[in-house]
Copies of this chain bind each other. A is one copy, B any other.
Amino acid sequence: MQTLPSLLAKINDFAAKNPFPDSPGALYEPCDYILTLGGKRLRPALLLMGYELFRDDVDRALPAAWAVELFHNFSLMHDDIMDAAPLRRGQPTVHTRWNTTTGILSGDVMLIYAYRFLASFDEPATVPGLVHTFNRVATEVCEGQQLDVNFETRADVSIPEYLRMIELKTAVLLGGALEMGARCAQAPQADAQHLYHFGRLAGIAFQIQDDLLDTYGDPAKFGKQVGGDILQNKKTLLVLKALETASEADRLELSRRMQTGAENPDEKVAAVRAIFDRNNIPGLILAEKQRFQEEAFAHLQAVQVADERKAVIRQMIEELLVREF
């Protein structure tokens, strides 16, 4: 069993040994660029951990793990164009540093390279099943992005619709990474399914936490501007819950504040937080997160593998889900 740092070292070593071609530079440089912006390599680590639950020869799973990381970065590159995002992790996005054509085409070739690594798994008969899982999840990620785009111009998004959107856009890829790791290891079908749901449900809990941290996180630890969602009038889970459960006066004030910009940003963040606070929105959202988290770990529990093999993955997910507020 490998520790997380040891798995991350293997992933980065594999990436270094499997670079993109040098030419055409205009096509491949942006791929290298986005991959070095400092992502956590969470998804490939999950795939390797899913594999290591069942087998020790984890190096075999590295091409599939890297495929998942390439897919993730492809989707970031294209999403950044669609969201007109100027920055990613504090650096210019690809379409900002180069242009939209580059963002589209370099993203496309990254997706193709993801399949290239996926199909290079050393057991050919396993490849169709791997590609099948990958495609199912990749399609859902596109559908989730489409729902997110649709929601921007809709005033009537419900909480179940919002949860479905974050499930598709983000959570299924975490589950899919674990499932693919299990498939590479020829794990029993039931275990692969439990791991998928573990990752999927933990992913939803993680996204709910992300919404909470954006408004209630410790500025020193959060890494982004606290209150950013409020200033962008984003329909986060906090907003949807407040619009559903707050007093009528607070609902009206929240709606009014979300239709305007902020002359005084600090005042706006404080006022919206006050609405959330007096309607116990953080408590309700935290309870929602807790439900997904508990359901997630029940699926990990159900995987038919000795508990000590689950220690590394359990620890990583717990650390991700127990951030300080």
A residues engaging B (CB < 8 A)? 24, 26-27, 78, 81-82, 100-101, 104-105, 107-109, 111-113, 115-116, 118-121, 124-125, 127-128, 131-132, 134-135, 138-139, 142-143, 145-147, 149-150
* Bound Cα distance from A118 to B145, whole angstroms: 24
**What are 15 residue pairs bridging A and B, where the CB atoms are less than 8 Å apart in the complex?**
A27-B142, A27-B146, A105-B145, A108-B142, A109-B142, A111-B111, A111-B112, A115-B135, A116-B135, A116-B139, A119-B127, A119-B132, A120-B128, A120-B132, A124-B125
Contact assessment for A82 and B109 in the assembled complex, using a CB-CB cutoff below 8 Å: no
* Bound Cα distance from A38 to B119, whole angstroms: 33
Contact assessment for B101 and A119 in the assembled complex, using a CB-CB cutoff below 8 Å: no
Contact assessment for B100 and A81 in the assembled complex, using a CB-CB cutoff below 8 Å: yes
The complex is assembled from copies of this chain, and their number is: 2
Give the Cβ gap from A112 to chain B, nearest Cβ, in Å.
Answer: 5
Q: Which applies to chain A's interface (DSSP): helix, strand, loop or mixed?
A: helix
Contact assessment for A104 and B104 in the assembled complex, using a CB-CB cutoff below 8 Å: yes
Contact assessment for A143 and B24 in the assembled complex, using a CB-CB cutoff below 8 Å: yes
* Bound Cα distance from A162 to B168, whole angstroms: 43
Contact assessment for A135 and B149 in the assembled complex, using a CB-CB cutoff below 8 Å: no
* Bound Cα distance from A81 to B95, whole angstroms: 14
Given contacts A100-B100, A105-B142, A115-B135, contact A26 B128 (CB under 8 A): no
A132 partner residues in chain B, CB cutoff 8 A: 116, 119-120
Contact assessment for A112 and B139 in the assembled complex, using a CB-CB cutoff below 8 Å: yes
Contact assessment for B78 and A105 in the assembled complex, using a CB-CB cutoff below 8 Å: yes
Give the Cβ gap from A132 to chain B, nearest Cβ, in Å.
Answer: 6
* Bound Cα distance from A116 to B132, whole angstroms: 7
Q: Which residue of B lies closest to A104 (CB)?
A: B78
Given contacts A116-B135, A128-B127, contact A146 B105 (CB under 8 A): yes
Q: Which residue of B lies closest to A139 (CB)?
A: B112
* Bound Cα distance from A165 to B24, whole angstroms: 11
Option from B104, B109, B121, B127 in Cβ contact (under 8 Å) with A139: B109
Contact assessment for A115 and B131 in the assembled complex, using a CB-CB cutoff below 8 Å: yes
Give the Cβ gap from A96 to chain B, nearest Cβ, in Å.
Answer: 15
Give the Cβ gap from A176 to chain B, nearest Cβ, in Å.
Answer: 13
Given contacts A112-B142, A127-B124, contact A147 B100 (CB under 8 A): no
Give the Cβ gap from A151 to chain B, nearest Cβ, in Å.
Answer: 11
A121 partner residues in chain B, CB cutoff 8 A: 128
A131 partner residues in chain B, CB cutoff 8 A: 115-116, 118-119, 127, 131
Given contacts A24-B147, A112-B138, A150-B24, contact A104 B125 (CB under 8 A): no
* Bound Cα distance from A145 to B101, whole angstroms: 10
* Bound Cα distance from A78 to B128, whole angstroms: 27
A112 partner residues in chain B, CB cutoff 8 A: 111, 135, 138-139, 142
* Bound Cα distance from A109 to B144, whole angstroms: 12
